[in-house]
Amino acid sequence: MLLLALACTGEVVDSATPDPLDWDVLAPGPYSVGFQTWDVTYTPTGETEERTLNLSMWYPTDEDSGPSGTYYEFIDAPNVIADAEMAESVYSSGAPVHAHSHGYSAYAESSAFLMERFASHGWIGIAPDHTGNTLAEHTDDLPHQFDWMRGEDVSTAIDAVAEYGNTDAVFLSGHSYGGGTTWVAAGAPFDRDLAAAKCADDGDCTENDEARFAAGVHDARIAAGYPMDGNGGGYVTADGYNAVDVPMLMITAHEDGEANTDVWDVVTGDVSWVSLDGGCHQTFALGGCSDMDTDRGYELVNGYGLAFARKAVLGDDMLEEILDGTQALDDAATVYTR
């Protein structure tokens, strides 16, 4: 990993420092966005073989020019500056952290538009490539162990940025399969009977897999979850969803809303739901939907996500009208609250 020149992230002492809660959640923040990647190796709980993840990090920088970044080793990323110097945080408790889990056969930067928006507002963004479940490694026969191991990937990614931001209260988003990862990492337990049945059907679970499904992958540092067009993936029951004790905002595309309607029908906790009419599954990742302009969809995902993160992680109570639907961001968006 390349070294960053970091400034102190302690208490703000300059009275002229701007208040980041004054920044418009519906627009980019004042910072340019730096970007870098590096590898981290860890051993998943109960396993003997090490696992190496490529991590992508987005962060605020005061630099306004420099070489553009590259996503997934070959995709030009003109909105970020490669290896830029990290800006001093204006947050009194250190830069807030936003972690993300990509979808099935995707990659860390699949929802880069969201990570870039948060970073422009002074957040540290971190996302792992879920090794073995990326675009280059596509398989239709993914072992069941990934259902728990992806959660440990997220925790490992959070560990990796503890020196750069405040990981005591992390905002976690995830798309599709990563939405399921978001639910379980935020505290939804795997249903042991469902997990046992899946393992029995396919015969690919080890004793350690069964133990991990029993233990779960809850990371207590996660303060709020933003599952995007994804749910518990057949491992989580109503009791599991309702075991989550942090705020959750589901956001879905109307055409993919069936499964999330089922979730909404059973949740009773601090859960809200935004449904985007005209959106499709890629509204939350690569775009290109036939009935919703890509940039329009991205702005809705960014606006609701940042407003929710500001409230849940930073205690910003000034955005309630966005989050309860009183202030409509777009005719395509319908907000449901408990």
CATH code for the domain in which residue 194 is found: 3.40.50.1820
Q: Is residue 155 part of a domain?
A: yes
In order of 48, 154, 174, 224, the CA distances from 44 in angstroms are 8, 11, 20, 24
Q: Is residue 120 part of a domain?
A: yes
Share of the chain above pLDDT 70, in %: 94
Q: How confident is the model at residue 43 (pLDDT cuts 50, 70, 90)?
A: very high
> Which residues span the domain enclosing 158?
32-247
Mean of the pLDDT values across residues 182-205?
91
Residue 259: predicted pLDDT: 66
Residue 338: predicted pLDDT: 87
Question: pLDDT tens digits for 99-121?
Answer: 999 999 999 999 999 999 999 99
Q: In what order do the strands lie in the sheet with 166-175?
A: 68-71, 75-82, 32-42, 51-61, 124-128, 96-101, 166-175, 222-228, 248-253, 271-276, 333-337
Mean of the pLDDT values across residues 295-319?
98
User: Which is nearest to 190 in space by CA: 226, 229, 244?
Assistant: 244
pLDDT at 78 > cutoff 50? yes
Q: Is residue 173 part of a domain?
A: yes
pTM recorded for the entire structure? 0.93
Question: How far is the C-alpha of 328 from the C-alpha of 332, rounded, in Å?
Answer: 9
Residue 5: predicted pLDDT: 41
Q: Is residue 262 part of a domain?
A: no
Question: pLDDT tens digits for 241-287?
Answer: 999 999 999 999 987 766 688 899 999 999 999 999 999 999 999 99
pLDDT at 7 > cutoff 60? no
Residue 257: predicted pLDDT: 64
Mean of the pLDDT values across residues 55-78?
97
pLDDT at 19 > cutoff 50? yes
Q: Is residue 22 part of a domain?
A: no
Residue 16: predicted pLDDT: 62
Question: How far is the C-alpha of 290 from the C-alpha of 75, rounded, in Å?
Answer: 23
CA 34 from centre of chain = 18
Number of domains in the chain: 1
Q: Is residue 336 part of a domain?
A: no
**DSSP helix/strand/coil, 3:** coil
pLDDT at 96 > cutoff 90? yes
User: Which is nearest to 150 in space by CA: 126, 172, 131, 173?
Assistant: 131
Q: Is residue 337 part of a domain?
A: no
Are 187 and 244 in contact, with CB atoms under 8 Å apart?
yes
Question: How far is the C-alpha of 223 from the C-alpha of 204, rounded, in Å?
Answer: 33
Are 199 and 209 in contact, with CB atoms under 8 Å apart?
yes
- φ/ψ of 127, rounded to 5, equals -145, 130
Where helices occur in the chain by DSSP H, the ranges are: 112-120, 146-160, 177-185, 192-202, 207-215, 238-241, 258-266, 294-314, 320-323
Question: pLDDT tens digits for 122-152?
Answer: 999 999 999 999 999 999 988 889 999 999 9
Q: Is residue 303 part of a domain?
A: no
